[in-house]
A and B are shown apart, each in its own frame.
Chain A
Amino acid sequence: MRSFDLRASYGGFELQAAARWESPCAALFGASGAGKSTVLEAIAGLRPGVRGSVELDGTRVDRLPAHRRCIGWVPQDSALFPHKSVRENLLFGDHGRGATGEASVRERRFDEVVETLELEPLLERSAADLSGGERQRVAIGRALLPAPRLLLLDEPLASLDRPLRARLVPYLRDIPERMGIPVFLVSHDPLEVSALAQEVFVIEAGRIVTSGAPASVFASAASWGGLRTLGAENRFEVRVLERAGGTLRIETAGGLALSMVRVEGFPEPERVAVRAEDVLIAERDPGVVSARNVFGADVVRIEPLGEQLLVHLEAAGEPWCVKITPQAAKALGVEPGKRLVLLVKAHQILPVR
């Protein structure tokens, strides 16, 4: 059983987050600025200003300094020691608590981590010369080697390319069982959370608003309008042009007119969000369709995202992200510079609080 109950107040931001979980891998899900990383750093003992308790298997660790908590932490930027080689980075924690294990066990763990994370060719290279994905793999390996009591991962797959993500997901998922190390990760990507965690806590403006199994939390109808907009990639400032029954005609700052369903509690939305997977792409204008919003957009770039692709486009001078499968991308011939048509249902434009 692991738990935290954290409180802090700084710069107008109030953190008041408590959670308790037993699953081997749990996740904290929320938008940027919701307080995810603050919670993670407080658990690791790196936020002296955050009050409250952190408990691991019945032991309070919140009064211990970071170096005595036995909590591994992989920050988003990897934070490798640039003056050390990859091998030296990996072995840094071995001087500390890891040194208590038997040499043969430690060597076996080192070999296993190096093999699984495909670090062998990198071992003698300087950490300063690695690519983003390589850095992240080394950082995960470095945090695992001292066999921490809890491993904290801050957006662990964000900087990895798609093939490596695909290989790394099963490995990260197996860490608790294979190495006996429970994992707590933060992410703003529902796919990542669903792939790795058995339990998810949703944090919004410093408070845990809901929790449960990822599948039920992400699909929860009750969270519509709140939760669904949290991880939404497309966000726009808008003004209302006209109201017609249950529909609103709105306009983005770039001048793109859209239709959305009027939501109770949001008579005059100032901001709206659209999830990347809720946008359809067509090769050309499909004619009469049920989607109320059909507009042209130019492909800017394509980014791998887990098993899917995130296509970045520009419409009316504003950026849009659309999540599609590689097969769909191939069929559409998606490539930078190509003009495509986006379709968004009025229901899928969500007002943001």
Chain B
Amino acid sequence: MSVAEVIDVVLLSLRVGLVSTLLILVPGVAVGYLLARGHFRGKTVLRVLVTLPMVLPPVAVGLLLLVLFSQRFAVGSFLGNVFGGTVLFTWWAAVIASAVMSFPLLVLGAESGFRGVPRRLEQVAATLGAAPGRVFLEVSLPLARRGILHGAAFAFVRGLGEYGATALVAGDAPGRTRTLALAIFERIESFQDRDALVLSAIAIALALVTVGAAELFFGGRER
């Protein structure tokens, strides 16, 4: 495996991880806030649904996405119209697979961030005339940022290493959809253990740096 190929794989993985994390940032924070602060029927159902991708076999999630994004279903046909063709087996499919698989990590991080914000502060903000939207933007969100960024970092790392669902919906096209995890598996299957080890080392290094930085900057006590 040439250096250029390795760089391609790493850059694609970083792009997939980054885009999928950005894609789920707003909905992840919103769901995290709902779970932390909301009082509504169906909260438990929402929590179960959100955490499901963490406990389901990734291949099963991939299969569901494969069906959902096929042209036979509304989602797939709508996206087909928008993108001018199916998103399946493109790098966007890898992004979607990563987003779905890493969504729970972002939600849990955001939820714990919002839980760490003393209600007193939100209440005081309200008595100072701040409507709920302003309370959220100026008090809850900034104070929960460590939890959110912590969750986002973990979601990013999860996205980097996603294999099962990505393999099914994005396939393994070198240069187009071959991410680090797919490349490692392909190298093992081709009996290129040395390449597989090098790629694994890179994956481990990326994960270590990201998780380490997340722990260092955003882990620990919420202020």
- A residues sitting closer than 8 Å to B (CB atoms) are 41, 44-46, 65-73, 75, 77, 79, 81-83, 92-93, 95-98, 128, 139, 142-143, 146, 148
Contacts and interface: CB of A to CB of B under 8 A. Distances in A.
Contacts of A75: 120, 123-124
B36 interface: no
B143 A79 contact: no
Given A67-B131, A95-B134, A128-B223, A81 B139 contact: yes
B210 to A, nearest CB: 25
Nearest to B121: A79
A45 B135 CA distance: 15
29 contacts: A41-B123, A44-B123, A46-B123, A66-B123, A67-B128, A67-B130, A67-B131, A69-B127, A70-B129, A72-B127, A73-B127, A75-B120, A77-B120, A79-B118, A79-B124, A81-B124, A81-B125, A81-B139, A82-B223, A92-B125, A95-B130, A96-B128, A97-B129, A128-B223, A142-B128, A143-B127, A146-B128, A146-B129, A148-B127
A140 to B, nearest CB: 12
Task: Report the 6 A-B pairs with minimum CB-CB distance, sorted nearest first.
Answer: A96-B129, A93-B128, A66-B126, A79-B120, A73-B127, A97-B129
A68 B130 CA distance: 8
B43 to A, nearest CB: 17
A81 B121 contact: yes
A81 B118 CA distance: 10
A66 B130 CA distance: 9
Nearest to A44: B127
A66 B142 CA distance: 21
B118 to A, nearest CB: 7
Contacts of B143: 81-83
A82 B143 CA distance: 8
Contacts of B127: 44-46, 66-67, 69, 71-73, 143, 148
